Structure formats: structure tokens, C-alpha cells
Amino acid sequence: MKKLSIYELNSLYRESMNIIGYQFGSGEKSVCIIGSMRGNEVQQLFSCSKLIQRLKILEEQNLIKEGKSILVIPCVNSYSMNIGKRFWPTDNTDINRMFPGYSEGETTQRIAAGVFDIIKNYKIGIQFASNYMSGRFLPHIRMMHTGFEDIETAKKFEFPYVLTKNTRPFDTTTLNYNWQIWESKAFSVYTTDTDEINAISALDAVRGIERLLNAEGITDSIISCGYHYNSQILDDNNLKSVRCVEAGIYENKVSVGDEVHKGQLLAEITDPYEGNVVEQLIAPQDGIIFFQHKSPLIYASTAAIKLVV
């Protein structure tokens, strides 16, 4: 394992931010894995740390194929993570909306440019990602429709679901999109949580990446445990949103991954002052809980639950 400095940002008032990468093996740029780019992505950072532990073992056992290299960058935004702020502290911009970056631009543009210059030529790019919606997800692989997406390779993670998403204008500045445009096979890995540690979900994600590495001829290991699936391919039409009307204190009555039936109680919203139930969220049809809101408070007209239907 080689510890590399990917990009350094000097600061007048605090310690310099040094983005660190860990390289395993040597030779062609086979796979790059990126962890947290936002300050609340603790699960993404944790998942990368577990992946680094596993790759150390594979390298020590000579199970990384000759001529193949793997780069892992656990954190791109330690400044925000140190203070628990999701976006860049000084101007509230999102590094994952700044790719491919601009070396003479604003701070987050320069960070994106410095990182992307190192990682853009890897054959496969994997990002431990989070969603703008705060909540829990069923573990899945996500890709954007760019014309370069590769569903067959995505299946090699053997996750329960592979979700393909239509590209919206603001998606064109994300890492996943730009990786694909630079002809890398790009995949976003979603584990169950973001701002909380879920060790089981992180371990499942590491095993999924290892299955991909084996299938692509980059490693040659044996995975003795953990789930593996014939991935179901989803798009926006397969997800049904259940929105609330009222605001208040939110309580889930089911869990992510549960199979539910039409008419089943999914969640309740209570009045924060008087404690009475002001709304019950009911399953509009049979399905599986793919996403659920987890904050104790909820705003009106929020998509609280998404079903695979």
C-alpha cells in the first residue's frame, strides 16, 4: 500500500487540507473508489476505511493481479466533516456539483479539478454516495443515463438493485456523470445510512466491491459470506413516492427492505404540541420499502417513503 497526497489546499487560519489516497497494486489505472465529499457522509468514510482494511489483506496475500492498481480516496472534504457541515464551510457550495472542476476558479472548483485530474483516467470509478433526501435506503447501485452507462458491469456488484436515473441539468457537474463522459465505467454505491454508522451495510458494500474486482479480473479472492443477488434493474417508473400532507413529529411503522401491502400503515405524523395523530401514511399498493424518511420531524409535502412497485 502506498499513501499518496492527491491534492493539498493551503489555509491562512487553520491546518492545510490534504486529500489522501491509498494505492494498492501497481500498473494500469484499474479502479478508483471515492468516499465522502460532504461533511455529513460519515457512513461513506467508514465504508472506505473498511475497504482499505480489506485491500491491505488482499495485497499482503498477493491476491491483487499483477499490472492492476486500485486507488481509494476516503475523504475529499475533511474541512466540512470536521465541523459536521454538509457543504463547503465558507460558501455552502457542494464539491460534487463542481466537476470536472476549474483550476483557476472558486475553492470547491479547484478542489474538484485537482482530484479529477488524478482520477479521470481510471477504467472503473466507484463513489460511496449520498442523496439530497435525508433518510435510509435499501443498498443499491445507481447510474445516470449518459449513453455510457454499463448495466452488465453494475450487476457484478451483486447488490439487490441497480437504479438507472435520467440525467437532469445539474447532474452534469457531478463526479459520476463526468467519470462517464471521460469514458470510465462509473457507479454510485448507496448504503443504508449517511450520517450514522451502519457497520453491516458498510461490510456488505465492501463485499460488493470485492465481487466486482474479482469479476473484472483485478483481484482473485474468495468471499465466504455476505449476500449476493441477481440484481433487479430499476428506473424512476419503478419507484412510488408516498408524500405527507401535514408537518409534525414523524414515526415510521415499517423498516427499509420490508415488504408491505396495499392499505398497510407505513408511518404516522403527530402534532408536536398536542400529541394527537394528524396523518397516517398508508401504502397505496403492494411493494418493498426502498427509502424512508428518518428525521423525527417532517415538513408538509415531503416524500417520506419510496416503494419498489
CATH of the domain at 119: 3.40.630.10
**Are residues 263 and 278 both part of a single domain?**
yes
Query: The C-alpha cell of 241 is what?
Result: 413516492
**Are residues 124 and 166 both part of a single domain?**
yes
The whole-number pLDDT of residue 12 equals 66
The whole-number pLDDT of residue 22 equals 98
Domain with 303 in it: 237-308
The whole-number pLDDT of residue 134 equals 85
| H or E element that contains 114 | helix 107-119
**Are residues 27 and 135 both part of a single domain?**
yes
The whole-number pLDDT of residue 84 equals 87
Rounded distance, CA 253 to CA 292, Å?
10
Rounded distance, CA 242 to CA 195, Å?
23
47 to 20, 139, 219, 236, 286: CA distances (angstroms):
16, 13, 19, 27, 32
Torsion of CA 198, 36, 140, 67, to 10 degrees: -110
**Are residues 184 and 292 both part of a single domain?**
no
Could you say which of 234, 266, 295 is where a domain stops?
Answer: 234
**Are residues 87 and 172 both part of a single domain?**
yes
**How many domains, in total, are found in the chain?**
2
**Are residues 300 and 217 both part of a single domain?**
no
**Are residues 18 and 34 both part of a single domain?**
yes
The whole-number pLDDT of residue 228 equals 75
- Residues sharing a CB contact under 8 Å with residue 165, sequence separation 6 or more, in sequence order: 142, 143, 144, 145, 171, 235, 236
The whole-number pLDDT of residue 245 equals 98
**Are residues 248 and 209 both part of a single domain?**
no
**Are residues 190 and 275 both part of a single domain?**
no
The whole-number pLDDT of residue 132 equals 85
Could you say which of 234, 253, 273 is where a domain stops?
Answer: 234
Could you say which of 191, 206, 234 is where a domain stops?
Answer: 234
Rounded distance, CA 275 to CA 297, Å?
13
The whole-number pLDDT of residue 170 equals 86
**Are residues 198 and 247 both part of a single domain?**
no
**Are residues 169 and 271 both part of a single domain?**
no
**Are residues 49 and 163 both part of a single domain?**
yes
Low-confidence ranges of the chain (pLDDT < 70): 12, 224-227
Rounded distance, CA 212 to CA 13, Å?
43
The whole-number pLDDT of residue 224 equals 66
40 to 79, 213, 258, 294: CA distances (angstroms):
11, 28, 26, 15
Q: What CATH number corresponds to the domain at position 266?
A: 2.40.50.100
